[in-house]
Amino acid sequence: MKWPPHVSITEVGPRDGLQNESATISTADKIAFVDKLSAANLPVIEVSAFVSPKWVPQMADAEQVFAGITRRPGTRYTALVPNVAGLERAQNARVTEVAIFAASSETFSRKNINQSIDDSFTTYKQVCDRALAAGMRVRGYLSTAFGCPYEGAVAAETVATLSSRLIDLGVFEVAVSDTIGIARPDDVPRVLEAVLARVPADKIALHFHDTRGHALANVSVALPFGVRTFDASAGGLGGCPYAPGAPGNLATGDLIQLLNGMGIETGVSLDAVTAASSFVRSRLARSSAT
């Protein structure tokens, strides 16, 4: 099988990796973590989220983290925003690319953002309209695309329809997300075939969690479909606060090693990612002990 010559990695460790950690991580350590990831030559780093500190305390210092990082030319530094208020905070922090996050199931949408799917799209249209008018890029996450912790199976056609709706809002890319790590390799074609009938492959990314140890296999199955962007988290950190049983994301280092072994270029330094992973894990261990 002929593999693609290059794959792009979106590093979500500083946001998705840390948002559910119970240990308090200092702003200085978050800044250092992002800077170490920048040194790995990652093309995209999701730095933080401009969400309510009441719901996600770990992201309360988003402005301070963005103010402290060293922005490397060639790396895009992004943030999650739930609404127009979050977008305004991101703009004030000189963020030029943001992400919105819809869900594939009604129950998850209500538990995650306290809105129905349709209501969330109304909110996100406002966000996208304002962001695009300001010259910002917007990415769209689509959660629970392979299964919901509350409703179970999600129809592939539902995922396809919602992916298309996100594109219609003006997002440049939809990250089809296995929020609880339930996807098996045989699930990937089922979902991608439906999605790619509606949305071009170059506008689709995949976001796998490794709850059942299938994340790398899922990547391998997705590559022949033309998907060229995958999310990953340094050290495999992360999980969703609203999805019980989701211990972590696909590890960035593991993804790089897989792709290297297949002869696929990423442009990312495995040694530097490993150093960043070791750093943040040492800080988490220290915080947990104090």
- DSSP per-residue string spanning 108-151: HHHHHHSS-HHHHHHHHHHHHHHHHHTT-EEEEEEETSS-BTTT
3-state secondary structure of 8: strand
Q: Token pair of 122, please? A: 């109304």
DSSP bridge partners of 100: 140
- Number of H helices and E strands in the chain, helices first, is 10, 8
**Considering the domain 8-289 in this protein, what is its CATH number?**
3.20.20.70
Q: How far apart are CA 183 and CA 217, in angstroms?
A: 10
> What pLDDT is recorded for position 23?
84
The residues assigned a catalytic role are 240
Sorted by where each begins, the domain ranges of the chain are: 8-289
The model's pLDDT over 7-51, given as tens digits with 9 standing for 90+, comes to 999 999 999 999 988 888 999 999 999 999 999 999 999 999 999
Regarding pTM above 0.75, the answer is yes
289 pLDDT above the threshold of 50: no
Helices (H), 134-247: 156-169, 187-196, 215-222
**CA distances (Å), 96 to each of 23, 104, 231, 239, 282, in order?**
29, 27, 19, 25, 31
| Residues with Cβ within 8 Å of residue 44, at least 6 apart in sequence | 8, 9, 10, 11, 75, 76, 78
Q: How far apart are CA 195 and CA 154, in angstroms?
A: 13
290 pLDDT above the threshold of 80: no
240 pLDDT above the threshold of 80: no
> What pLDDT is recorded for position 247?
58
DSSP-derived letter for residue 88 is H
DSSP-derived letter for residue 103 is E
Q: How far apart are CA 10 and CA 172, in angstroms?
A: 14
Kind plus residue range of the DSSP H or E element containing 32: helix 27-38
Q: How far apart are CA 159 and CA 102, in angstroms?
A: 11
What average pLDDT does the structure give for the chain? 94
| Helix pair 27-38, 270-289: axis angle to 10 deg | 170
The model's pLDDT over 124-182, given as tens digits with 9 standing for 90+, comes to 999 999 999 999 999 999 999 999 989 999 999 999 999 999 999 999 999 999 998 89
DSSP-derived letter for residue 84 is H
